[in-house]
């Protein structure tokens, strides 16, 4: 993931100032296929079209620049074939496990329209929902967003619904996951953060004044916090699921911190590592919970204080007795208190300042942070900075220094990261 690229993108965004069940949002309508969207007077223009309130070149942007359009064709390549062959499965292009995330997965052929084409990969309707019932009406001049939603257009404006959608493939859900078997066969590591990945997706929409008046404004910190909440819910759901947390006799290994077992990042990293008291133990892979806990320090200290002992107990219990009470308590805390908080987050300059401080302080205190944690902290700081011109002006250069330590997981040196983030933490007060 190119975090530096993102840094540039969001600086640009700041200068110009500018928001269950995923495919199931279809309401039993047919998937009409991307070919129904791509006509040049709809979404298929090569350049943005003047005089429309949308860009008009969405199809072109998606097909030329957006990796989602390659999601299926990448299954035809040798890397993908090697994965399924190592796992004893058939062709990846016919394997539901792969198709669920790499295509608009509509197994029931009667729900596919004439122009439906599996090769389109993750296409318009993967995100915007089956279009049969709104295809015609949404193009009529004056059709409102609400009218389109009423006809079954999926709501991708609501950050909470958007997070559920993206996380369903970029982390997985009850129906699909990248398991350790699949990682072992060579699948790239999944990592996700709603604001960063939203900024990295080649933009086929523009959050300008017209967009804001039709839909909503977009605040990076709100997106970040909502994304972390959804990811934390995903982690907890997987830990509580009898099917997803086990692989035969053993626990599902992807639930654990990869570097409990694999020390292949760089020699540097693990020789210099300290272990907060328990070397050689398996640690759970719960980065989004740590991110929530750290940011809640600046949003709602009460919840943050309730959360901290539960996260500690979660680790201990899981290692010693396997009890799941802490998981259940954390699930309740996340869904009943944190999730509503994220939907109603009032992002003021003061809130940005306190989240920024909490995240930086948290980051500066972790002993020998792993790349996965460091990367998420940096993305959180960046989303916060991008939500506040004051912070951007004051700390932009310091964030750039932090990102400079994250150019690749192989070259990552935790000491350099800690030094850069400690400088930032000291400069905030």
Q: Which residues bind ligand HEC (CB under 6 A)?
A: 1, 22, 34, 37, 43, 54, 58-59, 62, 67-68, 70-71, 74-75, 79-80, 83-84, 92, 95, 97-98, 100-102, 122-124, 126-128, 156-157, 162, 165-166, 168-170, 172, 176-178, 180, 182-184, 187-191, 197-198, 200-201, 204-205, 211, 215, 253-254, 256, 258, 260-262, 282, 285
Q: Pick the closer one to ligand HEC by CB: 86 or 308.
A: 86
152 backbone φψ class: left, alpha, beta (φ>0; ψ -120 to 50): left
Under 8 Å between Cβ of 230 and 160? yes
Task: Tell me the closest approach of the beta carbon of residue 289 to ligand HEC, in angstroms.
Answer: 15
Q: Which is nearer to ligand HEC, 9 or 428 (CB)?
A: 9
Structure tokens of 341?
């908080």
Q: Shortest approach of ligand HEC to residue 90 CB, angstroms? A: 10
CB of 305 to ligand HEC, least distance (A): 29
- Rounded to 5 degrees, φ, ψ at 2 are -95, 90
Q: What's the min distance (Å) between Cβ of 275 and ligand HEC?
A: 15
Do the bridges between strand 250-251 and strand 176-177 make them parallel or antiparallel, or are there none, so unpaired? unpaired
- Shortest Å distance, C-beta 109 to ligand HEC: 19
Closest by Cα among 182, 209, 14 to 89 = 182
Nearest to residue 362, comparing CAs of 377, 384, 347? 377
Task: Give 134 or 417: the residue with its C-beta nearer to ligand HEC.
Answer: 134
Instruction: Using CA atoms of 336, 342, 344, 346 in order, give the dihedral in degrees to the nearest 10.
Output: 140
CB of 189 to ligand HEC, least distance (A): 5
Q: Please, which residue, 29 or 421, has the CB nearer to ligand HEC?
A: 29
Q: What angle do CA 257, 260, 262 make, to 5 degrees?
A: 100
3-state secondary structure of 172: strand
Q: Which is nearer to ligand HEC, 185 or 327 (CB)?
A: 185
Q: Are 343 and 387 in contact (CB under 8 A)?
A: no
Asked if residues 355 and 221 have their Cβ atoms less than 8 Å apart, the reply is yes
In whole angstroms, the minimum distance from the beta carbon of 353 to ligand HEC comes to 27
> Closest separation between CB of residue 336 and ligand HEC, Å?
25
Q: Which is nearer to ligand HEC, 99 or 399 (CB)?
A: 99
- Residue closer to ligand HEC (CB basis): 163 or 424: 163
- Residue 6: its H or E element: helix 3-16
Helix (H, G, I), strand (E, B) or coil at 83: helix
The residue among 123 and 418 lying less far from ligand HEC, judged by its C-beta, is 123
CB of 169 to ligand HEC, least distance (A): 3
- Write the CB contacts of 135 (distance below 8 Å, at least 6 apart in sequence): 32, 36
CA distances from 339 to 22, 231, 271, 345, 381 (A): 18, 11, 39, 10, 20
CA 210 to chain centre: 27
Kindly calculate the radius of gyration of the chain based on its CA atoms and give it in whole angstroms.
22
Smaller CB distance to ligand HEC: residue 200 or 311?
A: 200
Cβ-based neighbours of 239, under 8 Å, separated by 6 or more? 245, 255, 284, 318, 324, 327
């Amino acid at each position: 993931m190119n975090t530096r690229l993102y840094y540039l993108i969001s600086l640009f965004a700041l200068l110009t100032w500018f928001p269950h069940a995923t495919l199931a949002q279809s309401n039993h309508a047919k998937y009409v296929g991307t070919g129904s969207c791509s006509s040049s007077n709809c979404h298929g223009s090569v350049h943005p079209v003047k005089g429309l309130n949308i860009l008009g070149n969405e199809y072109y942007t998606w097909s030329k620049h957006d990796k989602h359009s390659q999601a299926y064709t990448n299954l035809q390549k040798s890397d993908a074939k090697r994965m399924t062959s190592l796992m004893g499965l058939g062709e990846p292009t016919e394997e539901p496990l792969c198709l669920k995330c790499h295509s608009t997965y509509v197994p029931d052929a009667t729900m596919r329209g004439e122009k439906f084409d599996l090769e389109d990969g993750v296409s318009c309707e993967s995100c915007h929902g089956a279009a049969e019932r709104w295809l015609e009406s949404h193009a009529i001049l004056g059709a409102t967003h609400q009218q389109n939603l009423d006809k079954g257009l999926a709501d991708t404006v609501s950050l909470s619904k958007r997070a559920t959608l993206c996380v369903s493939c970029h982390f997985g859900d009850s129906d699909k996951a990248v398991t350790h078997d699949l990682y072992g066969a060579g699948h790239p590591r999944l990592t996700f953060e709603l604001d960063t990945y939203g900024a990295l997706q080649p933009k086929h929409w523009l959050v300008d004044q017209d967009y804001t008046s039709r839909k909503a404004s977009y605040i990076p910190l709100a997106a970040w916090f909502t994304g972390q909440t959804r990811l934390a819910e995903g982690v907890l759901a997987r830990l509580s699921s009898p099917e997803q947390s086990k692989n035969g006799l053993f626990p599902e290994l992807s639930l654990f911190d990869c570097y409990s077992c694999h020390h292949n990042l760089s020699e540097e990293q693990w020789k210099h590592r300290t272990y907060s008291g328990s070397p050689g133990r398996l640690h759970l892979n719960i980065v989004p919970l740590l991110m929530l806990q750290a940011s809640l320090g600046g949003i709602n200290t009460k919840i943050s204080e309730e959360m901290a002992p539960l996260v500690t107990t979660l680790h201990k219990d899981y290692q010693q007795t396997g009890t799941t009470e802490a998981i259940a308590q954390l699930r309740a805390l996340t869904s009943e208190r944190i999730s509503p908080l994220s939907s109603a987050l009032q992002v003021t300059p003061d809130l940005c300042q306190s989240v920024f401080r909490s995240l930086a302080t948290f980051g500066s205190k972790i002993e020998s942070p792993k790349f996965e944690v460091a990367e998420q902290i940096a993305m959180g700081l960046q989303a916060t900075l991008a939500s506040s011109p004051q912070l951007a002006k004051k700390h932009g250069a310091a964030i750039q220094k932090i990102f400079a330590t994250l150019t690749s997981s192989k070259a990552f040196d935790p000491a350099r990261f800690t030094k850069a983030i400690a400088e930032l933490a000291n400069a905030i007060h």
